[in-house]
Amino acid sequence: MPNPLDDAKVYTLADLKVWETLRPGLPPSLAVLGHPVAHSVSPQMLNAALKELSKRHKKFENWRYFKFDIEPERLSESLALFYEKSFEGINLTIPHKIPAVALVKKISNAAKQVGAVNTLIRTKDGGWDGENTDSYGLDMAVKESLGLKVIPMHVVVLGAGGAARSAALQCLREWGQDVWIGARDPVKLNIFMDELKSQEHVHGKRVHGFNLNSPPIEQWNDGVLVINATSVGMKISDPTPFDVSNLPRDSYVVDMIYRRDGSTSLVKVAKERHLLATDGLSMLIWQGFKSLGEWTGISPSAEIMMAAACAALGLPPRHA
C-alpha cells in the first residue's frame, strides 16, 4: 500500500474507496481535488501549517492533507465518498470549481457572484458548503506580497475566463477601481464584459475592454495594477502575456500562475523594469491560509506555509 503520509503522492478514487486501510480509524483528512493535480504543492504547505497548529492544539495531531486526481465525471460520486471517509474539508482546482457549484448544499455570496467554488466545508447533515477564497487570495497577494495599501486607479485584468472573472469582480466589488479587461478574442471579450456589467454590484462602475495587441497605455499615466489571469506563462516556451515595457514606473504586476523553475516570464520582465511584481504562489498561500482557517477555526501561519511551498518547489525562501 502507498504511504498515506507522502505529501507528493497523488491519490485516486480507487484509493479513496479503501481509505480506511490507508488511514486506520479514519482520522480527519483534508484534500485538494484536480485533474491533473500532480503539480500541486498544497499538501506540503498545509501539512506544515497543520504540524504547527498541532503544537498548540492537540486535536490537530492526526489531521493530514492529501491530493487526489479525480476525473470530472467522477466528482459527484467522489464528494459523497470524501464525506463518508471523514474528510473535513476540500480544495478544488481545475476543472472542478464550476461543476461543484451544483453539488454543494449552500454557497457563499462570494462564490455565487463568481460562479465557482474552490473550498468545500463539511456540514453536519451529509454534504458540503461551498466557498470561494480566490478573491481573498488575490487581495492579500496585492496588499501583503506587493505591500500595496492603496490600489492604483486603473486595474488591468488579462483574460476572459474563470480566473479573470474572479479577479475583475474583486476589483469592482472590493476596490472600486476602473477595470480594463484585455483579451485577444473580441467575441469572448464582449460576452465577458456583458456578464460583468450584469452583476448588481457593478452598477455605475467603469469597465473597459481592449485587445491585448493594442493596449491603451496612454490612458494609464497614473500607474496601473496588471493581473495576469490567463494560463500563458505556465510553459517555459510561452511568450510574455503582456508587454510591460511602456507601463508607468509606478505600476505593479500580479501573475496568477507560478512555475517550479522560478519566476514566470511576466514577473521577470516586470522586475527587470524595476516594477513591483509577484507570482501566483502568493495567491496560493493566502487561499490556503483562508481555507485552513475555515476548516479549523484557527488562523495558520502564512510564513510557515510559504517556506514549505518554496522548499517543495526548490525555490529560494521568500516572504508570504
Query: Rounded to whole angstroms, how far apart are CA atoms 155 and 210?
Result: 13
Query: Rounded to whole angstroms, how far apart are CA atoms 132 and 115?
Result: 9
Mean pLDDT of all residues in 19-39:
95
Question: What's the fold here for domain 10-132+282-313?
Answer: Rossmann fold (3.40.50)
Position 204 scores a pLDDT of 65
Catalytic residues: 97
CATH of domain 135-278: 3.40.50.720
Q: Is the pLDDT of residue 4 over 70?
A: no
Mean pLDDT over each residue of the chain, to the nearest integer: 91
Of how many residues is the chain composed?
320
Q: Is the pLDDT of residue 153 over 70?
A: yes
Position 2 scores a pLDDT of 47
Domain layout of the chain by residue ranges: 10-132+282-313, 135-278
Confidence band, pLDDT 50/70/90 cuts, at residue 1: very low
**Residue of higher predicted confidence among 145 and 12:** 12
Helix (H) or strand (E) holding 155: strand 154-158
Position 222 scores a pLDDT of 82
Residue 4, amino acid: P
- In sequence order, what are the residues at sequence separation of 6 or more whose Cβ sits closer than 8 angstroms to the Cβ of residue 86? 26, 27, 28, 29
Position 52 scores a pLDDT of 95
Q: Is the pLDDT of residue 27 over 50?
A: yes
Mean pLDDT of all residues in 2-15:
82
pLDDT tens per residue across span 262-272: 789 999 999 99
The proportion of the chain whose per-residue pLDDT surpasses 70, expressed as a percent, equals 97
Position 5 scores a pLDDT of 64
Whether residue 241 contacts residue 158, with contact meaning beta carbons closer than 8 Å, is answered with yes
Mean pLDDT of all residues in 142-160:
90
Query: Rounded to whole angstroms, how far apart are CA atoms 100 and 166?
Result: 16
pLDDT tens per residue across span 103-130: 999 999 888 888 889 999 999 988 999 9
pLDDT tens per residue across span 57-105: 999 999 999 999 999 999 999 999 999 999 999 999 988 998 999 999 9
**DSSP codes joined into one string, 17-64:** HTHHHHSTT---EEEEEESS-TT--HHHHHHHHHHHHHHH-GGGTT-E
Position 317 scores a pLDDT of 86
Quote the Cα angle for 283-162-80, to 5°.
85
Mean pLDDT of all residues in 259-288:
91
CA-to-CA separations, 143 to 130, 152, 188, 247, 307, in angstroms, rounded: 25, 12, 30, 20, 19
pLDDT tens per residue across span 196-252: 888 777 766 788 999 998 999 998 988 899 999 988 887 877 889 999 988 998 999
